Structure 1
């Protein structure tokens, strides 16, 4: 009889603890939370930015894990003006009847005559009259939220970088963003103080978004505590050079991204377990759990790319499987080629590679481009393709750290070769190119860290 009572006491205590643990999560799950996340990096007419696309992907993943429904199902990356307009209008429709609406933007932003504008990737404004047609007024986002029935609206702007149009005739654009009045039930968070310039970041994410994504996962912080913690984290990270700023109207009730943990269940004194027992159900092996979510698959593809395992083309199952297999071999996994949670987890834990260099070539247009000392592979390739003539420069050689690349060509052949030194890269490129029987010459060569240029 004593043994039976002991087992029953354990079961009741475990059940109570489980119910308490999930009480906060269940409360959050009953809220309807809607978010639009936009990240613009690949600007066509002004300075490109390395990190907004990464920042937007991080925020989309984080918000989705906290119960937000994402407009478009994922982060919206590199939008032109029509695409931004459509996304904001869709956001306005989806927030009708929601409890919480959140708009996040990373990319170029400017203030013109006291109003704040978000810059689509194709914008090329040269005078103030162009602005309303080529950029998105933040007030239009606020209007989409007003009258929706939400009890809380959040606008988060990691968009306070230098005015990209300063040297292009748009004199009315000032540095940073202007302070806006927050409508009822609204909080507006800027990556830095109004009129100041925020940092884009050198490690793949801006200091602001990195702090924000980490802080909103912490349980028990209300909305004001959350953004205060973010501000302190960014201030420490940047040595005081950047101070986030919040503008807010009175907000009804208390909002938590993650509710406080419920109090622990009362502990019942019981005899010690005579021997350890395995639980009846073991957690699944992450290396056997396939990834099916589109946003996570895109993250996996991007992380593989940034570690020089080419999953391209993205829509090719064989391309992705080959890239995953090569990565698995590198980390001593069985090369199954399967996209699993275990593969993504290992990639997330890996150090970012840098610096990056790239050489691209377009045989059809007979042009080439070269770049070096970039923080990411994507940025290095974009820079090289800008010099080459764009998307038609399809052949790419990317390298990182102290490795070097060389480009050799003759009238009949060409080669792009990577080696651990500049001299070896040049020699190998000439040797490979010369196999066609013609004398070749080196067009250019560089190391990822800039040696050779």
Structure 2
């Protein structure tokens, strides 16, 4: 396809400088473009990239930094990074600057980007998905961080109407297997460049990036909360993940520290005991159901171990299977079945039905537990003795009020349904 790969082939032939070999297993490509020749100046983008580079070097990343680069210079730097990466590396790509979308494709804009038509703009830009795909082919674990969701800089200067060009923001992007993608704001929306040295998004990222105990999901939850607070809820950072294992940027190799294993107890003499019943889920609140399966298709919805179609299949869920909703990652729902199996399933074939329990009769206590579980999953710190006794406040977000807990639309619907049932039952 267009633009990036032919460009890198030319660069490959032209580049003759040797690439230094390093023993580091965390490699970062950091780009920041502020001083555009034909587009609006971005005062913070270059500073954001410089500060992120410094933070990553302090964490002992091998950093390839590029500030205010042309398209040709970016290509040369990307080639150096690709030549350096190997399969066991953790690769991180950070970009701050102008970015645009055409249809479902995103482009980052070098400082010499220009054009008045779709074709000329694309020829002067670099397709983001091509960089990410090249990184994924070389490294086994990847983190992509984009602070490039500014207003479309070409919106007022095009000679022809371009229906495929987004007016603001970038298109939704999902990486391949073992890739984590974070955007400064939601797809199709614009993010603030900020009034200080850093943008709100990068400023928050810098506050938490050196936390050795936080993996990238926990880190982004902290960043998201700060950005929402700083921008008065006008900007919400967004992420997509297909990671198989946790990634901790501040840990050697990006590997999160494993909990200390307790010593194995000494074997005990065998005794004959009556058979015990299998564990049940007496307070399981079933708010969703598998629905809409194609009768001429496979006839089941897969319950998987991760949020991608190639994840290990844990079970086959048929039409009408009732589920407990535990959380959401993009189009994937985290659910538990009536038999206690827990995993991920695609939301296209799951619908909300209202609160039902697997016990003979719903109790006020069960409804209270289910309603507050949604807030616990999203980082709410419980203040009451009852809440602290039922839910751990470990890794919760201090200062996050109940009104500002970032529930998804499905979660809010479930909470509203549970509250209605609590009122109908006269629960305190």
TM-score, with length taken from structure 2: 0.52
**Aligned pairs, number:** 231
Q: Counterpart of 2:245?
A: 253
Matched, 1:141 2:134: no
Q: Counterpart of 1:110?
A: 100
Distance 2:125 2:54 in 1: 26
Match of 1:56 among 49, 52, 55: 49
Change (3 A) 1:218 1:113: same
Q: Counterpart of 2:213?
A: 220
Match of 2:74 among 53, 67, 84: 84
Q: Counterpart of 1:95?
A: 85
- The answer on whether the counterparts of 2:24 and 2:62 sit within 8 Å (CA) in structure 1 is no
Matched, 1:159 2:159: no
Q: Counterpart of 1:205?
A: 198
Helix, strand or coil at the partner of 1:63: helix
Within-5 A mapping of 1:4-23: none
Distance 1:52 1:224 in 2: 24
More helix, by proportion: 1
- The answer on whether the counterparts of 1:37 and 1:104 sit within 8 Å (CA) in structure 2 is yes
Helix, strand or coil at the partner of 1:147: helix
Q: Counterpart of 2:28?
A: 35
Matched, 1:195 2:196: no
Change (3 A) 1:261 1:180: closer
- Give 1:66 shift: 0.9
Distance 1:245 1:43 in 2: 26
Distance 1:39 1:257 in 2: 20
Change (3 A) 1:30 1:233: farther
Distance 1:246 1:86 in 2: 28
Distance 2:23 2:59 in 1: 12
**What residue ranges of structure 2 are gaps of 5+ in the alignment?**
1-21, 261-428
Q: Deviations over 1:179-223 (max 9, x none)?
A: 012211101110000000000000111000011111111120012
Helix, strand or coil at the partner of 1:37: strand
- Give 1:147 shift: 2.3
Q: Deviations over 1:3-62 (max 9, x none)?
A: xxxxxxxxxxxxxxxxxxxxxxxxxx9960000000000011111110011000100000
Helix, strand or coil at the partner of 2:207: helix
- Give 1:261 shift: 8.3
Cα RMSD (Å) of the superposition? 2.1
**What residue ranges of structure 1 are gaps of 5+ in the alignment?**
1-28, 265-453
Helix, strand or coil at the partner of 1:173: coil
Q: Counterpart of 2:266?
A: none
Q: Counterpart of 2:176?
A: 183
Distance 2:207 2:233 in 1: 19
Runs of 4+ in 1 over 3 A off after TM superposition: 259-264
Distance 2:24 2:79 in 1: 22
Helix, strand or coil at the partner of 2:137: coil
Change (3 A) 1:31 1:193: same
Change (3 A) 1:261 1:114: closer
- The answer on whether the counterparts of 1:38 and 1:106 sit within 8 Å (CA) in structure 2 is yes
- The answer on whether the counterparts of 1:31 and 1:100 sit within 8 Å (CA) in structure 2 is no
- Give 1:67 shift: 1.6
